[in-house]
Amino acid sequence: MNSPQSHEATKEKKLFEPITEHEEYEGRNIVDAAYSLHTGLGPGLLERVYEVCLCHELSKRLLIL
């Protein structure tokens, strides 16, 4: 069995490209739609219900067709 590596050994310099303004806008809208859905419907429904409602909300916001 391999012994776990130290925290320092697992650090790697990861380079990420900045996202575009359009990607930032869409990401914020997706998170906002999910949050609104969660607060509006609350807990206890089947995952499929949340999925359908999220798709509907996103289509209303013109993020998906």
Q: Is the pLDDT of residue 53 over 80?
A: yes
Q: Which residue has the higher pLDDT, 4 or 41?
A: 41
What's the domain count of the chain?
1
15 falls within a domain:
no
Q: What is the pLDDT of residues 17-34, one digit of tens each?
A: 899 999 999 899 999 999
pLDDT above 70: percentage of residues in the chain? 75
SS3 65: coil
Cβ-proximal residues to 51 (8 Å cutoff; 6+ apart), any chain: none
Q: What is the pTM of this model?
A: 0.65
Domain range for 32: 21-65
Over range 3-22, report the average pLDDT. 74
11 falls within a domain:
no
26 falls within a domain:
yes
Residue 33 burial (CB count, 10 A): 20
